[in-house]
Amino acid sequence: MSDTDRRGLVMGGLLAGLPLLGGCDAVSESPRGQGVLRGAEQLTRRAQRAVVRNALAPEYAETDISPDFRANGSVDPADAEYRRLLADGFRDYRLAVGGLVERPLSLSLAGLAGMATRTQITKHDCVEGWTSIGKWTGTRLSAVLDRAGLRPEARFVVFHCFDALDQRPDGDRYYESIGLDDAFHEQTILAWRMNDQPLPVPHGAPLRLRVERQLGYKHAKYIRRIEAVESLSHIGRGKGGYWEDRGYEWYAGI
């Protein structure tokens, strides 16, 4: 049995005991669900660190692509700036890259497409228990970070997004973060195409994160800017992500 299979069995066994739930918020609000997620984080972190640090997530064939890839969480952000960019086909979109970098960046979609890219067909594992396989094309996050030049004290990469899951004008904007091991991993990309088409709005247009060795809630959609930081304590509620601030664990390896 491969290490990937073992990790899948661990996660599957932990989640199998949960009742069927309607969404990620239901899982995070369940004391039992929080306990399962805490245990899963500890087990999967140890499992991934026990294998080769740069091991790849499984990749699949074109024939394996799911005919109906579920769109989860936010599917149509109400943010005024996002609506303006969407109305213009994202021609004025710029990805800001800042924080602990030597060279802050402002990158258009065309600029991103001109950097080192990768196409991969991978499985999306949601904490709710469902999976789908999709084809993603995007810019390697490592290429963006190399161009910006991380400062030595940078330890995390934070993704700030346009969407607020409760859709209130003052609602908490979605954000996520990953460590540098995952940020520089070969399969970690900023995707702007899905299944050979421009990334659809329900799946995070114009730009979403694919961090293939972690669960779906880590794959931030609707990215507006990237920030390199030394600590996560000053962002949101200090836990490293929107769902982490609500009880999920920061490390969601599979």
**pLDDT tens profile 181-225:** 999 999 999 999 999 999 999 999 999 999 999 999 999 999 999
Better pLDDT: 172 or 200: 200
Kindly report the pTM of this predicted structure.
Answer: 0.82
Is residue 117 within 8 Å of 13, Cβ to Cβ?
no
Q: What is the pLDDT of residues 94-137, one digit of tens each?
A: 999 999 999 999 999 999 999 999 999 999 999 999 999 999 99
C-alpha torsion angle, residues 43, 45, 51, 54 (rounded to 10)? 150
Tokens (6 digits) for 215: 């669960």
Residue at token pair 């989640």: 15
Q: What is the pLDDT of residues 57-104, one digit of tens each?
A: 999 999 999 999 999 999 999 999 999 999 999 999 999 999 999 999
- Give how far Cα 31 sits from Cα of 22, 41, 149, Å: 16, 15, 41
**123 exposed, middle or buried (CB, 10 Å; 0-12, 13-18, 19+)?**
middle
Tokens (6 digits) for 46: 């140890």
Peptide bond preceding 169: is omega within 30 degrees of 0, i.e. cis? no
Give the phi and the psi of residue 157 in degrees, each rounded to 5: -115, 125
